[in-house]
A and B are shown apart, each in its own frame.
Chain A
Amino acid sequence: MPVRHLRLRSLLATALAALPLTAGANSLTLDDDDQTISIDECENRGSQSIDMSWDLSSSSGSSIEILSSNASGCSSDDTTAVLVSDLSTSQASYPASGDSTITLSDVLTAAGKTIDSCSGSDFYVYVCVRLLDSSGTTVTTSTASIRFQLTRPPPPTGLSVGVGENALYVTFTTGTTTTAAPAASKTYRAFASAGGSTFQSGETTSKSDVRISGLENGTTYDVWVVAYSEAGNASQTSEKSAGTPQQVYDFFELYKQQGGVESGGCSHGDASSLTALLATAWVMRRIGARRRGRRAGGSARTNGRNATTAPVISRE
């Protein structure tokens, strides 16, 4: 047992010793939606801004610059260019008030990426923040990556459509990735269409009973599902299936439909049951009052009335 305590103590000491180093490390963080870029965002790269924040507080320097590169670390050996320079060391995010925006186009150009169309294989570019001293020498650099996901996931397969009241439920399986659709499926959305109107489910990670609501009972809808990759690239639509929402009976409606007599609300028995319940509650209350009375002073007299001789009751 003492050996175990020693080991635990030793582990705890190691963890505590490592804590200040971890907390004080320099870092650069991109906004969540800037870390993985979809095909749509790539195609609109000129209007897609990149927001970031950093912590360089464990080092000291004179100014900060932001760079983009085709390699992590943004060294001069890589295709690297400065996007923003001469930022104050007190600044910890970009853009701040008065700053111009860094776009995906800026980042790609600085990293030497010339993409004519946002298709092909996935690739990475890197954004760095560099802390410089007064002579312009690099003190420290922190890096974050941007993943351009230009591939799509495969369409879902094996659709089955379940009936709901003013709704349809779709169950399916994830499609198998191919060279044409190599991206992993992350989320899904089901669609239903009839008479020129299209309805959709919420985006979900579930693959069973995905609900499309707002439909009309008795109308037959075409139903399909689309998968989305981590970046949000949509798959081709799945094969279509059909479904018709119907009036659904919940348990009580079914019970009544089959001739059940219960109608809800308070109970239907005579007053004896309620009287019995109240009587038992009254007896319990009396017992409680007696106990409280004894605790208070050993006398069971309440409300000015003389109590009957109480039995001798001992308590551990």
Chain B
Amino acid sequence: MLETTKIGRRARALAIAATLALAGSVRAGGVELGGELSFRVQSYRPRVDSEFSGGTGPYTLVFGSGKALGVRADYAATLSGLFGTAGLGAGIGYIGMEGKGLYQEASGGEWKISGDTTALRLFPASLFVLYRMDGLATRAGIPVAPYARVSLERYLWIVSGTNHASKTGATNGYGLTLGVALLLDVLDPDLARQLSEETGVRHTCLTVDVSKARVNDFGSSRSWDLSTAEWAVSAGLTVTF
């Protein structure tokens, strides 16, 4: 029992030390415990059609060859240090695609577009770790902070159609995001200070990033592929407090 407790303590100490090392040096200037909220608009196109070889796949037939737009909101608990901010968080989003159902011509079997609507709605939930290199912005006044986020993803999905029962499911995966944050408070430090004093918002950032997600139940042969077909681009706003 004693041994187990010791191991637990060591593991915990190691985890904290690693997080602090990532965020910066405690001795060099201390760390700040905080949180941040992010809102993003994201482009998305799933790789559902990769399952089908030859011809046009069902996703393209119904929803076309374009990309859908979705929104995501994340919250992360953060540790900010000399070089940057490390965080652990969770998020949820919504991406909706609407198209027309298809019917088969009696003569020839050609697929035709019907008047009935059908939709694929995704609610991507994620748990993630992030690191943002904002030390340059806070200490050298350079208002740009590159960041990275590694996430576990669970996409809840609903397919619906006119006069059809909805089909629901969930598909798991993981993702990587690389982006750049533009720290707005560096552009107007007085306003940022006032905002911090009055609302507790320490920093406000505009963000632009690209994401690659592998969402196919980790390669399961019984799952469809909701991975991003290409790098998904997103832009948004992050506030830290």
The residues of A with any CB-CB pair to B shorter than 8 Å are: 162-169, 209, 211, 213, 246-255, 257-270, 272-274, 276-277, 280-281, 283-284, 287-288, 291, 308, 311-316
Known A250-B160, A251-B62, A280-B152: A308·B12 in contact at CB below 8 Å: yes
A165 and B116 CA atoms in complex are apart in Å by: 7
Q: Are B223 and A313 in contact (CB under 8 A)?
A: no
* B15 proximity list for chain A (CB < 8 A): 283
* B225 vs chain A, min Cβ distance (A): 9
A-B contact pairs, 13 of them (CB 8 A): A164-B163, A165-B103, A248-B161, A249-B102, A251-B58, A254-B61, A259-B51, A267-B154, A267-B172, A273-B173, A284-B88, A308-B13, A316-B196
Excluding A162-B115, A262-B224, A281-B127, 13 further A-B contacts by CB distance (< 8 Å) are A165-B163, A249-B102, A251-B62, A258-B52, A260-B52, A265-B169, A267-B169, A283-B15, A287-B77, A287-B88, A308-B13, A314-B31, A316-B32
On whether the beta carbons of A251 and B222 are closer than 8 Å, the reply is: no
* Cross-interface CB contact of B218 among A165, A246, A251, A273, cutoff 8 Å: A273
B88 — which chain A residues lie within 8 A by C-beta? 280, 283-284, 287
B233 contacts partner chain A, Cβ-Cβ < 8 Å: no
Q: Which residues of B contact A209 (CB under 8 A)?
A: 115
A167 x B159 contact (CB < 8 A): no
Least distance between A24 CB and chain B CB atoms (Å): 46
Q: Report, nearest first, the 4 A-B pairs whose CB atoms are least far apart.
A: A250-B161, A169-B115, A269-B217, A162-B115
Task: Return the contact of A251 from the options B20, B104, B112, B120 (Cβ within 8 A).
Answer: B120
Task: Please give me the residue from chain A that is nearest to B161 by CB atom.
Answer: A250
Are A284 and B77 within 8 A (Cβ)? yes
**Min distance, Cβ A270 to any Cβ of chain B, angstroms:** 7
Q: Check B99 for interface membership: any CB of A closer than 8 A.
A: yes
Residues A268 and B101 in contact, CB atoms below 8 Å apart: no
Complex contact B163–A167 (CB within 8 A): yes
B176 to chain A, nearest CB (A): 15
Distance from B216 Cβ to chain A, minimum over Cβ atoms (Å): 8
Given A249-B102, A255-B58, A280-B152; A164-B31 close (CB under 8 Å): no
Using an 8 Å CB-CB cutoff, how does the interface string of B207-241 with A read, 1 for contact, 0 for none?
00000000001111111100000000000000000
Q: How many residues from B make CB contacts under 8 Å with A? A: 64
Contacts of A291 in B (CB 8 A): 33, 77
Instruction: Give Cα distance in the complex from A213 to B163, angstroms.
Output: 10
Interface residues of B in 142-174 (CB under 8 A from A): 152, 154, 159-164, 167-173
Using Cβ atoms and an 8 Å threshold, which residues of chain A touch B189? none
- Contact B169–A248 (Cβ < 8 Å): no
**Cβ contact within 8 Å between B115 and A260:** no
- List, in ascending order, chain B residues with CB within 8 A of A251's CB: 58-59, 62-63, 99, 101, 118-120, 159, 161
* Residue B141, interface by CB 8 Å: no
Out of B9, B20, B57, B222, name the residue touching A258 (CB < 8 Å).
Answer: B57
Q: How far is the CB of B46 from chain A (nearest CB, A)?
A: 11
Indicate whether A269 sits within 8 Å of B172 (C-beta atoms), given known contacts A258-B52, A311-B20. Answer: yes
* Complex: A281 Cα to B177 Cα, angstroms: 20
Q: Given A251-B120, A316-B202, does the pair A264, B169 have CB atoms closer than 8 Å?
A: yes
In the complex, what residue of chain A is closest to B170 when comparing beta carbons? A267
**A residues near B120, Cβ cutoff 8 Å:** 251
Shortest beta-carbon distance, B5 to chain A, in Å?
8
- In the complex, the answer to whether A167 meets B26 with C-beta atoms within 8 Å is no
Complex partner residue of B167 from A166, A247, A252, A277, CB under 8 angstroms: A252
Closest residue to B57 on the A side, CB-wise?
A: A258
A278 to B, closest residue via Cβ: B127
Question: Residue B223 contacts which of A255, A261, A281 (CB distance < 8 angstroms)?
Answer: A261
The residues of A that contact B103 with a CB separation of less than 8 Å are 163, 165, 246-249
Measured between beta carbons, the chain A residues less than 8 angstroms from B58 are: 251, 254-255, 257-258, 260
On whether the beta carbons of A277 and B118 are closer than 8 Å, the reply is no
Q: Once bound together, how far apart are the Cα atoms of A267 and B34, in whole Å?
A: 34
Q: How far is the CA of A33 from the CA of B220 in the complex (A)?
A: 63
B161→A268 contact, CB < 8 A: no
